[in-house]
Every structure is written in structure tokens, then in C-alpha cells.
């Protein structure tokens, strides 16, 4: 017999409350050193104020033995931009050390970008709070932290502490405050209020004709099947489609999309035994027409250049942590992903990772193209270049993937070209297929 979403949520609340008894003691401070701020007493019952007080390792730059990250090459370029992207935070106010570490890795990148061109932003992919009791409300020791006012107040203060404008979209846990709010609508209003959002979706022009666009989940209690399906409501979907119509590729617009879960057809790594079988893997998973709508829009509107998502708590080191508009023909038919590169985003806190990785994303670019990079929070903020996309014109681009996956032995380099008539060529190289002069031994998927 199928149980209602409310019954499932209530059962989960009891189980997670019991599990929370195993949690450790409250740490002595919340974040690493940096701009100080106070945390509402509702956020952590045991302490009315917190500040960035831990020692923070200072560095002049963020670098990697194989790739040196510098914003200087974009200096005085009005079309340049940098976006930091953080995955599922699942903040537990008792366990803030990893968030302090992650913040310390992003701060110098943001500061350098502000000094060179100023077009900087932070984007959170949602699921802001831990879905269990976090000793945050003595009056209700079984209350889940995720989705509560306390959760969103603390998340807003944390995201606001990076010194750059931030955007956030709702994940499947962000209106999970089932003890505090009776309806999804009431919970969503507090989410929007805490984060200064007029709507569940957003658009931000990060540079001239370059937009960041996000859509959030707005259904939990009223879910038809599972409460943890990431549902983009009809109003947002219509807004998104109209935004794409109004900002076409042939007029020079570039759009980067942010959602908690990826759209079906993205080709990203998923969890069959968890999200697929439970109907909460892709956007609007249980609605066949709406589930298909997102990839159809990607194919139709070539202004969509990148799409970032989280949800799976998986690292960024797999071959299918990213997907390009086309693939090697030996791996299957042409997937038709328009002009879009899809990118999975990992997590910041170790206790929330499914594979032990702790990583965030960077998006950096200008009028000529963009880069997608990884920040590794387990390696002192080491920056890795994952993909470089160069625009040939408004509807054509050339991409190079350069994942450094020696440990996994999966992928060395991949190249693609996309065109508006969907006749795409791919240049793809696996380990052992590089010529002696270091050029790629390539294969083409079209004449």
C-alpha cells in the first residue's frame, strides 16, 4: 500500500531524530576567520552568537601542479566573469569546520576576480540543511533541521559571508520544515525571505549578454509520489522557456543554468539504487512530459552553454561527472545536447559525501568562451581545469575536456565541436591514443 508523502516524512523524522543522538558535541566555533557575523539564536540553541574565529591559511594564489589559476588574464575585460558553485551543503550547525575550510578556498579566488574585473557571484545548488535533528530546537527534539527558519537564516549568513552576491535555488530538502510549517507555500515564503529572493527562480546578468539562470523545487508535502522529487513548477517552467525565447543565441546571449537535480538526457552519473528507483533522479521525474521538456529546450535553444546540478553527493572525478554535446561514436548514437555542457557538483562537508570526495565548481569565462574547474577541498583548495569551451560564433563552439583522472584511469582528454545544424564532430582520446608529438589521435563522427 502506497503511503502519503506526509506519512513518509513523519516516519523519516522519527528515524532521523533517533539517529541524531549519535551526533558529536557542539564545536567551539562555526567558521574560519574572515568577515564576522552573528548567527540568530534560533539557528543554534546552545549559542546565541558565532564568528569566523578559526585560523585560516593565507595564500597569494590558488594553484595546482598541473594548472595555475589566475584571473589576471581577464584583467580589464568587461566580458569576464567568475562564478563559484557549491553543491548540497546540508549544514549541521554543530559541524561547521568543513564549511570554514571550503570558504577559505573560495575567498582568494573571489578577491582576485573582484580586483581584476568585478563580475563575480556565488551560486548554491540547494539542500541547505541537514535532514535530521541538530539540537537546534530544545522545544522539539525531533524536529528536522532542513527547511526550518533557523536553517535558512544560518545558510543565508554563510552564503552571504563570501563577500560577493549569491544566488540559491531550492533542492528537495529546502521546504522540509514539516514541524514548523503546515504548507509548502508557507515554507517557501520563509526560504525566499531569508535569502532575499522574490521568486523561486532567478536570473542574473553576470557580464554583458551572459546570464546565470536558476530554478528551484517548490513541492514537498503536496508531492504526488515522493516528497524528494525535485519539482520545477509550471510557472517557473513557462518563465524559463520565455527567457530563452527572449535571449536567443543568434543575438549573442550565453546562458548558464543551475538546478538542484539534472534534467533527464544530461548524461550525468546517477544512482540507480537510490534516486532512479524512488522517482527523484531528474527534474520533474514522475511527469513524463515535463521531465522531457528540459532537454528539449536545451536542444532548441543553443544559448544554453552550461548546466550545473548537485543532488547525488558524488564527486567530480568520474568520466560522467560532466557531459558534452556529443560523444565518441563508438559509445553510442549522437545524444543531441544542443550546445550545453552538463556538470555534476560535489559536496563541501565530508559527512555528506557518498564517495568521500569534497569538491566545488568554478565557472570562469568571457566573450570568447568559458572554463569549468574543480576546487578540491581535501587538497588545500587545489584547482583543476576540467573543460575549456571556445566560442567560434554564437551557435558554434569547440570544447576540450582535460580531466586529470590518472587514479581512476578513465579519461585523458576529449574534444568536441558543435554546430547549429546538429552535425557535430567529436575528437576523443583515451589513454594510449596520443601521438608521439603529443597531438591527439582523433576520430570524427561526421565527414
CA distance 330 to 81: 36
pLDDT in 10s for each residue of the chain, 447 residues: 444 544 444 444 444 343 333 333 323 333 333 333 333 323 332 232 343 334 344 444 444 434 667 777 788 899 999 999 999 999 999 999 999 999 999 999 999 999 999 999 999 999 999 999 999 999 999 999 999 999 999 999 999 999 999 999 999 889 999 999 999 999 999 999 999 999 999 999 999 999 999 999 999 898 888 777 888 999 999 999 999 999 999 999 999 999 999 998 787 877 656 554 465 667 887 777 877 899 999 999 999 999 999 988 888 988 888 888 877 777 777 778 889 999 999 999 998 888 899 999 999 999 999 999 999 999 999 999 999 999 987 767 666 665 444 333 433 334 445 543 322 222 222 222 222 332 333 322 222
Nearest to 94, CA basis, from 355, 368, 349 = 349
Measured over the CA atoms of residue 280, residue 284, residue 289 and residue 293, the dihedral's sign is negative
Interacting residues of 263 by C-beta distance below 8 A, sequence separation 6+: 282, 283, 291, 294, 295, 298, 307
| Predicted local distance difference test score (pLDDT) of residue 313 | 86
The domain defined by 5-58+78-397 carries CATH number 3.10.105.10: no
Interacting residues of 42 by C-beta distance below 8 A, sequence separation 6+: 136, 137, 149, 150, 153
pLDDT tens sequence across 349-388: 998 888 899 999 999 999 999 999 999 999 999 999 999 9
CA distance 366 to 343: 19
Q: Which string of b and e fits 206-244 if b means at least 16 CB within 10 Å?
A: bbeebbbbbbbbbbbbebeebbbbbbbbeebbebbeebb
CB-CB contact of 241 with 254 (8 Å):
no
| Predicted local distance difference test score (pLDDT) of residue 98 | 95
Nearest to 324, CA basis, from 430, 261, 418 = 418
CB-CB contact of 375 with 359 (8 Å):
yes
pLDDT tens sequence across 70-110: 777 788 899 999 999 999 999 999 999 999 999 999 999 99
Helix residue ranges, H only, 233-309: 234-246, 288-300
Strands of 71-194, DSSP E: 81-86, 120-124, 166-168
Q: How far is CA 171 from CA 54, 90, 272, 396, in A?
A: 30, 10, 19, 32
| Predicted local distance difference test score (pLDDT) of residue 273 | 61
CB-CB contact of 331 with 323 (8 Å):
no
Helix residue ranges, H only, 396-442: none
Amino acid at each position: 500500500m502506497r503511503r502519503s508523502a506526509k506519512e513518509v516524512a513523519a516516519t523519516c523524522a522519527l528515524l532521523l531524530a533517533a539517529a541524531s543522538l549519535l551526533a558529536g558535541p557542539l564545536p567551539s566555533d562555526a567558521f574560519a576567520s574572515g568577515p564576522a557575523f552573528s548567527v540568530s539564536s534560533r539557528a543554534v540553541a546552545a549559542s546565541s552568537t558565532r564568528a569566523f574565529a578559526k585560523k585560516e591559511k593565507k595564500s597569494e594564489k590558488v594553484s595546482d601542479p598541473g594548472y595555475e589559476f589566475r584571473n589576471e588574464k581577464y584583467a580589464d575585460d568587461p566580458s569576464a566573469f567568475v562564478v563559484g558553485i557549491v553543491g548540497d551543503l546540508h549544514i549541521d550547525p554543530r559541524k561547521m569546520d568543513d564549511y570554514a575550510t571550503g570558504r577559505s578556498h573560495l575567498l582568494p579566488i573571489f578577491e582576485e576576480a573582484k580586483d581584476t574585473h568585478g563580475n563575480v557571484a556565488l551560486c548554491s545548488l540547494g539542500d541547505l540543511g541537514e535532514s535530521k535533528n541538530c539540537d537546534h530546537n530544545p522545544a522539539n527534539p525531533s524536529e528536522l533541521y532542513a527547511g526550518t527558519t533557523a536553517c535558512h537564516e544560518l545558510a543565508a549568513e554563510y552564503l552571504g559571508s563570501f563577500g560577493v552576491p549569491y544566488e540559491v535555488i531550492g533542492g528537495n530538502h529546502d521546504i522540509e520544515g514539516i514541524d514548523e510549517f503546515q504548507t509548502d507555500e508557507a515554507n517557501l515564503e520563509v526560504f525566499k525571505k531569508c535569502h532575499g529572493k522574490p521568486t523561486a527562480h532567478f536570473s542574473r546578468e553576470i557580464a554583458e549578454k551572459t546570464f546565470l539562470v536558476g530554478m528551484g523545487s517548490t513541492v514537498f508535502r503536496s508531492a504526488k509520489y515522493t516528497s524528494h522529487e525535485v519539482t520545477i513548477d509550471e510557472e517557473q517552467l513557462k518563465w524559463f522557456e520565455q527567457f530563452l525565447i527572449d535571449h536567443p543565441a543568434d543575438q549573442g546571449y550565453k546562458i548558464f543554468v543551475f538546478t538542484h537535480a539534472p534534467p533527464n538526457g544530461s548524461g550525468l552519473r546517477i544512482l540507480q539504487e537510490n534516486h532512479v528507483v524512488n522517482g527523484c533522479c531528474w527534474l520533474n521525474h514522475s511527469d513524463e512530459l515535463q521531465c522531457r521538456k528540459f532537454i528539449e529546450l536545451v536542444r532548441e535553444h543553443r544559448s544554453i552553454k552550461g548546466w550545473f546540478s548537485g543532488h547525488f553527493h558524488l564527486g567530480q572525478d568520474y568520466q560522467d561527472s560532466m557531459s558534452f554535446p556529443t560523444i565518441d561514436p563508438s559509445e553510442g548514437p549522437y545524444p543531441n545536447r544542443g550546445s550545453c555542457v552538463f556538470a555534476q557538483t560535489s559536496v563541501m562537508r565530508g559527512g555528506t559525501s557518498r564517495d568521500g570526495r569534497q569538491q566545488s565548481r568554478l565557472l570562469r569565462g568571457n566573450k570568447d568562451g568559458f572554463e569549468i574547474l574543480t576546487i578540491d577541498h581535501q587538497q588545500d583548495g587545489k584547482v583543476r581545469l576540467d573543460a575549456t569551451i571556445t566560442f567560434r560564433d554564437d551557435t558554434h563552439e569547440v570544447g576540450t575536456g582535460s580531466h586529470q583522472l590518472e587514479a581512476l584511469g578513465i579519461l585523458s582528454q576529449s574534444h568536441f565541436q558543435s554546430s547549429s545544424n546538429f552535425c557535430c564532430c567529436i575528437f576523443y582520446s583515451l589513454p594510449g591514443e596520443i601521438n608521439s608529438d603529443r597531438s591527439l589521435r582523433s576520430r570524427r563522427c561526421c565527414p
